[in-house]
Amino acid sequence: MRRRFNTTGACSAKRHYMVKLDSRLKQIKEDYVDDGSYFVINRGRQYGKTTTLNALEEYLKDDYLVLSLDFQQLGTEDFADASTFSHAFAEVLIQMIEIGCFENKEAILKPLRVFVDKRDNSLKDLFVCLYGICKCSPRPVVLMIDEVDSASNNQVFIDFLAQLRASYLKRDKMPAFHSVILVGVYSIKNLKLKLRPESEHQYNSPWNIAADFDVDMSFSSAQISEMLEEYERDYHTGMDTDLIAGEIYAYTSGYPVLVSMICKRIDEKIAGSGGYETLEKAWSEKGVEKAVSLILKEGSLLFESMVKQLDMYTDLHDAIEDILYRGKKITYSPEHRSINLGVMFGFLKEENGHVAIANRMFEMCLLNLFMAEEAGSDAYSQGGSDRIGFIQNNRLDMTLVLKKFVDYFTEIYSEKDTRFIERYGRKIFLLYLKPIINGTGNYYLESQTRDERRTDVIVDYLGEQFIVELKIWHGNEYHERGEKQLLDYLEFYHKEKGYMLSFNFNKNKKTGVREINMGSRTIVEAVV
């Protein structure tokens, strides 16, 4: 059976190309399970949580009795009340044990079967039954529950957590689970984000015994390269696995499903298509760029979830717009409800004390979203109408793009005040640029240089890369410093030509485009 890159459900090493999890499993076992911790693995959607949990179950089985279940196996009606939930929980546990390989299987099953044969059991009754399993087990018992977000009755779930907490606090005096692992998108400590406001007071303490889970579940460039080497051994593409892994990491920051999405598109859609007739051509920097374009064009459930959050939280939408378009620095605070949600869902992160977009692909998706919201704008329409003239022999003429933009901006916006230009100038350029490269190229904002005065836009178009610095004019000294910064950036990217677009507020400014030779490199400088 051919192995594939997987983007749906849990991964299996027999059926899928996947990153090796050995070091991660070892860390979880030694730092958390062996230590007897009760903890939560919460990461964004499609972050490899279930894959990790399945692998961890296998990894632990020699030292522990692992009871593993999925709350998605329970229906909404199973959370109606404590009695119904307890009965359904026990039934699912029985099913799991019956199909698994367990020592003393019948001894474990007996108290559960007695329990389900009775009616009107309480949560306390359920835990008495579970304590009995812990007592008779020859090895310490570990409880794993996946998809805890599926709990549809929050009060029942909170009461369940309270029972776990009680057993944790008394485990030196009575049988109890050695370790408990809950898995979901939401942090249980932040369960209030799912509760009705009037119920928030009820969640205060049930899970304050949990250890903070601090294990990196993203993929490193080295791990991606190792996965690609497995693929290379099967298909002999001739790819430079370290190079391609680095490119994939640059777009994804190691977000598991995004890594798999790119690889899957290259393997199944790009290889053999026009311009990528061989696997070697497909597994290239240009192939990665093409895969990213396809993913952004096709969309995904992951992106849809992100858009949904922005629709629900307008302050989050506006904050991200300010980050992307203005380079605004927003201080990260876990108390900020909408920002915290963005972090929890995986598309935002804390970086040096500020809020940042989690990875380049999410940023590109967000830019596309904001552009779509203004697809009828004058700047977007003008860029679309000018598009044909900018593309010659499948090459983008960035100098001409800047010349035409200067003409357009001067005509339409020259009378606008300073505040307008400072807030919207870069946004207008990006709106103008979007339809020019749409469907063929990508662009993104370089996070390392982004601030309220300066932003570098990286444009990828059919394998050719353009670096465009967008800056607000703050005098000659700052301008010269910006030129030096751009030269340094060109050297880093091994480019001979760079581009600078300055928004100048001076009344006596001289608009237009000129080329400046600075040593061996050239800067095309546009002023509006």
Looking at per-residue pLDDT, the higher value among 24 and 437 belongs to: 24
User: What average pLDDT does range 459-483 have in this prediction?
Assistant: 83
User: What average pLDDT does range 429-454 have in this prediction?
Assistant: 77
Residues 245, 251: contact at Cβ < 8 Å? no
17-21, 292-296, 377-381: least confident range: 377-381
Highest-confidence range of 275-284, 310-319, 392-401, 467-476, by mean pLDDT?
275-284
The whole-number pLDDT of residue 452 equals 57
The whole-number pLDDT of residue 196 equals 44
The whole-number pLDDT of residue 204 equals 52
Torsion of CA 248, 250, 251, 255, to 10 degrees: 80
The whole-number pLDDT of residue 197 equals 44
Q: How confident is the model at residue 447 (pLDDT cuts 50, 70, 90)?
A: low
The whole-number pLDDT of residue 189 equals 56
Rounded Cα distance between 121 and 155, Å, is 17
Residue 278: name the closest of 248, 230, 249, 235 by CA: 235
Amino acid at position 264, single letter: K
87 pLDDT above the threshold of 90? yes
225-229, 245-249, 308-312: least confident range: 308-312
Amino acid at position 59, single letter: Y
Rounded Cα distance between 364 and 443, Å, is 7
Which residues 6+ apart lie within 8 Å of 124 measured at CB? 163
Q: How confident is the model at residue 492 (pLDDT cuts 50, 70, 90)?
A: confident
32 pLDDT above the threshold of 90? yes
Looking at per-residue pLDDT, the higher value among 30 and 482 belongs to: 30
User: What average pLDDT does range 311-319 have in this prediction?
Assistant: 89
The whole-number pLDDT of residue 360 equals 93
User: What average pLDDT does range 184-188 have in this prediction?
Assistant: 74
11-25, 184-198, 479-493: least confident range: 184-198
The whole-number pLDDT of residue 195 equals 46
DSSP reduced 3-state for 38: strand
Residues 168, 92: contact at Cβ < 8 Å? no
Q: How confident is the model at residue 27 (pLDDT cuts 50, 70, 90)?
A: very high
442 pLDDT above the threshold of 90? no
205 pLDDT above the threshold of 70? no
The whole-number pLDDT of residue 454 equals 66
2 pLDDT above the threshold of 60? yes
The whole-number pLDDT of residue 153 equals 66
Burial of 99 (0-12, 13-18, 19+ CB in 10 A): exposed
418 pLDDT above the threshold of 70? no
Residues 75, 374: contact at Cβ < 8 Å? no
The whole-number pLDDT of residue 203 equals 46
Q: How confident is the model at residue 322 (pLDDT cuts 50, 70, 90)?
A: confident
User: What average pLDDT does range 130-135 have in this prediction?
Assistant: 92
- Can you state the angle between helices 82-99 and 105-117, rounded to 10 degrees? 150
The whole-number pLDDT of residue 129 equals 94
Rounded Cα distance between 376 and 149, Å, is 39
Query: In terms of DSSP bridges, do strands 141-146 and 179-184 run parallel, antiparallel, or are they unpaired?
Result: parallel
User: What average pLDDT does range 162-190 have in this prediction?
Assistant: 87
User: What average pLDDT does range 27-56 have in this prediction?
Assistant: 95
Output the pTM of the full model. Answer: 0.87
Q: How confident is the model at residue 106 (pLDDT cuts 50, 70, 90)?
A: confident
Residue given tokens 């693929």 in the structure block: 231
112-126, 140-154, 201-215, 356-370: least confident range: 201-215
What average pLDDT is seen over the chain? 88
Q: Kindly write down the DSSP assignment for every residue of 378-395, as one continuous string.
A: HHHHHHHHHHHHHEETTE
Highest-confidence range of 167-176, 235-244, 378-387, 422-431, by mean pLDDT?
235-244
Q: How confident is the model at residue 201 (pLDDT cuts 50, 70, 90)?
A: very low
User: What average pLDDT does range 293-307 have in this prediction?
Assistant: 89
